[in-house]
Amino acid sequence: MALRKTANAMVVHPRVSGRGWDGVRRVASSGATSRNLTDQAREILGGSLDPDKYLFTHCTIVASVDTEQVPNAKLGKIKVGSSTVNRPYADYHIRPECSQYVNNNGDSWSRKVLLASYSTFIGSHNFQEHVQVEEKSKGRIIDAVARDIGDSVYIDILVATNRKHATLIQDIQSGKMGTLSMGCTTDFTICSKCGHLAVDETELCEHIRHAKLNVFHDERNQQRVIAELCGHIDYTDNPDAPGGVRFIEASWVGIPAFPGAVMRNILSTGETQIPEGELRRLLAAAPSSWSDTAISKAANLRVGLNFGEDEAGDEAAPAEEKPAVPFEDLENEVYDLVKGRVKKRITEEIRAKNVEKAPDPGASDAPNDSLVREADVFMASVQVGKTATQKRYASSLQTLLRVASSDVALVDGIASLNEAYGMKVPVDVYRAALQAGAVTNYPTPKSYLQACRKASGRTFTSAELRVVVRVGTMLSHWEGDNNPMKTTRRSS
């Protein structure tokens, strides 16, 4: 029995022309580029590529990972502790640099499997909310191409949605409906930690059942992610599913599994600042909590493609863009600044205690004020980002502070913003920071970090620590703007 996988992804462009899609084809590393798109569409749609009848939409729907052979891995059914591992293949560790391409459902596709199977998208139906009844089909997927960006392969699909579905078309064009969710079947999955093969949910190993998206250290002390690898390139038993994988549909979904998916469609497309009114509308609907199943990160992309048609009628081929973390150096700088100020403050407090300095009656909230100043350092440092991308990021942070309707909406917005800019952060980090609240609610930085660790139930990495500092700082500013009289502190 095949396993069913779904994964949400942002729409790169809700309305793309035939010439615009030709540009995608030109930069694709592989695909049906040798076949005339008009002929291919006529075969699938039973008619021409008529923009008056169909809305054509481009979506980057899934990404690949690279795997590595595990040294001295024993194959077959072997006993590991009290469990039996069915391990037919030895290349099941995901390369550390590819961890970011595992989607947030914990699913992944190796490069070879994805290149062998992505063409099964072509001709599949376009549904809504995964209602897979052909009579309710909204259109078809009329093309798919693969783009090799180095450490991953992106799969782009061209979706033709029939304009007779007027409400859906209006929602897509307005941006209200901006998320596509792919559906695929896989004959089996493989655990990226132990290599166990499972053909259905009853056969899943303990790692996949209880630790997906967690990390582990291999025998060489390299940190790797735990995920399900769908299929394997050496599997040839199913001719309809190359490598054991078949992509069967792409659905328009209005309520993604992770709330950030909705806003990410706005944040990650284009090069201009997000309109404040649009961001306010999105944040107004922020949910009260996050679900455990997060949006697919397979298409966490900011593809720098030009799908518009110029006045001369010619369209430049889009350039490839590899996802990056454009503010990583800036973030490190901010972290160091905050850390330095905290260290200085602790030193001064110890010195003051040793000399039994009398407290200033007017400074009973000095620790709180100090952390406010640290928050000011953070925001000021972000604002001096030297690149255009850093400035857009900083501007978006400031907009979030102005329009967030609640602390949940603010943290949701930060998560979405980080997602859009290529930061892979576990959901429990945001949950912990949200539960702990503002850094200014604590007497010391140490007590704030202890509260975050207690909320998450684990120790943070240095990168995660920077995220909780950022979120806590943003919450401090938000609370200060929305409740300037707030003095409540949480216990550690």
Contact in structure between 406 and 483 (CB atoms under 8 Å): no
The confidence score (pLDDT) of residue 91 equals 97
Question: 89, 190 in Cβ contact below 8 A?
Answer: yes
CB 342 within 8 Å of CB 334:
no
> What pLDDT was estimated at residue 401?
78
pLDDT at residue number 346: 55
The string over 418-453, giving b where at least 16 C-beta atoms fall within 10 Å of a residue's C-beta and e elsewhere, is bbbbbbbbbbbbbbbbbebbbbbbbbbbebbbebbb
Q: Is 224 within 8 Å of 218 (Cβ atoms)? A: yes
Residue 460 · residue 429 · CB < 8 Å:
yes
Residue 110 DSSP symbol: B
Tokens of 425: 């952060």
**Quick one: tokens of 102?**
């595992």
pLDDT for the residue 492: 34
Q: What is the pLDDT of residue 290?
A: 37
The 3-class SS string of 429-462 reads HHHHHHHHCCHHHCCCHHHHHHHHHHHHCCCCCH
Number of H helices, E strands in the chain: 14, 18
Regions of the chain where pLDDT drops below 50: 32, 256-276, 278-331, 333-335, 337, 356-372, 374-385, 484-492
| Total Cβ atoms within 10 A of residue 67 | 24
Instruction: Tell me phi and psi for residue 216, to 5 degrees.
Output: -145, 165
In the chain, the amino acid numbered 469 is V
Q: How far is 146 from 410, CA to CA, in rounded Å?
A: 35
Q: How many CB atoms lie within 10 A of CB 82?
A: 6
* Distance in angstroms (rounded) separating the CA atoms of residues 96 and 217: 10
Query: Residue 456 has what pLDDT?
Result: 87
Per-residue model confidence (pLDDT) at position 341 = 52
Q: 87-105 as b/e, with b when 16 or more CB fall inside 10 Å?
A: bbbbbbbbeeebbbbbbbb
End-to-end Cα, the chain, rounded Å: 49
At 128, the amino acid letter reads Q
pTM as predicted: 0.56
Per DSSP bridges, beta strands 93-94 and 3-13 are unpaired
The structural domains of the chain, with segments of one domain joined by +, span 3-258, 328-482
